[in-house]
Amino acid sequence: MPDELNFDGKVAVITGAGGGLGRAHALLFASRGAKVVVNDVGGSLAGEGSDAGPAQSVVDEITALGGEATADTHSIATVEGGRGLIDTATAAYGRLDILVNNAGILRNAAFEDMDEQHLEPVLDVHLRGAFFVTRPAWNVMRAQGGGRIVNTTSGAGLLGAPGFSNYGSAKGGVYGLTRVLAVEGVKYNIKVNAIAPFAATRMLSDSMGEPTEVSDPAALAQMQAIVAALDPSLVSPVVAYLAHEDCPATGEIYTVGGGQVSRFFLARTQGYVGGHTLSLEDVRDHWDDIRDEKDYTVPADTGDESQSVFAAIARGRVT
């Protein structure tokens, strides 16, 4: 195909690529010419243990298909692990163009049971892990004149879901990290975006519970059909496009799964201006105006938001 997008000469690091979504991303990048570093510690869904097998088996799959890949088994949940992973990439291929922060674990609990054994490992892998890998990658990309980073957030964090207070905190942090790095990356030609995926992986099966828990056969059949449609490889084209140099986006979040793709964004309502006499009762009486979604705007960054706030203040009280 003449206008096919490819990654010839590019090097991509994908964390947690020994299975699930990361494996699908690795296979797509490799099939389009990227040299791929397949990172995976090979632990359980809760983040226990390690196994070099999953990362190596994805590398074997890629090489069997004629692609080029290297396995890496560092845990990205530490500073040393993050640095070790990026060193693997530069030692193997001498450069780094794309980083996909995808590794993840799950330790759900009701908030009243959410102790530090649930919280810390989840923050370590999703949030600190993204930080620990991105910092050394950033320095390589800066020196090279640019790069692309795709983070993995989640609807459970951005929108809320019961039992996910640790995970939601981590994934909300990944959202903030994405936004800030996008702004900082402008002057280095580093673009940073994120996805909130849906895919039938071990993680989704665990979050959804056993299908047998659904008693209505029609509802069960519908749920099984939807899960069957959530092939992880239907998420990877969005990750690959966000990682491609033709993609102009930065600081954006895409919700993707089962072949559908949409953008999530944080918007600002037109709101209400009470001026210097704004009172508690004004807030009560104008609650609907404050919340009215008509003519909302989407601030690009905090400078943009400040301009809207200052313009509204300058307009003065609207009665």
Which residues in this chain contact ligand NAI in the complex, by CB under 6 A? 15-16, 18-22, 39-43, 45, 47, 54, 75-77, 102-105, 125, 129, 152, 154, 197-199, 201-204
Catalytic residue among 167, 175, 254, 272: 167
**Closer to ligand NAI by Cβ: residue 43 or 136:** 43
Residue closer to ligand NAI (CB basis): 166 or 250: 166
User: Cβ 206 to ligand NAI, closest distance in Å?
Assistant: 8
Closest by CA to 121, choosing from 43, 188, 37, is 43
Query: Which is nearer to ligand NAI, 20 or 67 (by Cβ)?
Result: 20
Alpha-carbon distance of 263 to 234, in angstroms, equals 16
- Report the nearest approach of ligand NAI to the CB of residue 75 (Å): 4
State residue 255 phi and psi, 5-degree precision.
Answer: -95, 125
* H/E run at residue 37: strand 35-39
Q: Strands 190-198, 147-152: parallel, antiparallel or unpaired by DSSP?
A: parallel
**Is 175 considered catalytic here?**
no
Least CB distance from residue 87 to ligand NAI, whole Å?
15
How many whole angstroms from its chain centre is CA 270?
A: 29
Closer by beta carbon to ligand NAI, 76 or else 182: 76
111: alpha, beta or left? (left if phi > 0; alpha if psi -120 to 50)? alpha
Closer Cβ to ligand NAI, 23 or 286, answer by number: 23
| DSSP class of 319 | -
Q: Report CA torsion sign: 193, 199, 202, 203.
A: positive
Calpha distance 185→146 (Å, rounded): 9
Closest CB to ligand NAI: residue number? 20
Report the nearest approach of ligand NAI to the CB of residue 42 (Å): 5
Cα–Cα distance, 277 to 102 (Å, whole number): 48
If DSSP codes are grouped into helix, strand and coil, which group holds residue 107?
Answer: coil
SS3 170: helix
Least distance (Å) from ligand NAI to the CB of residue 271?
Answer: 31
Catalytic positions = 167
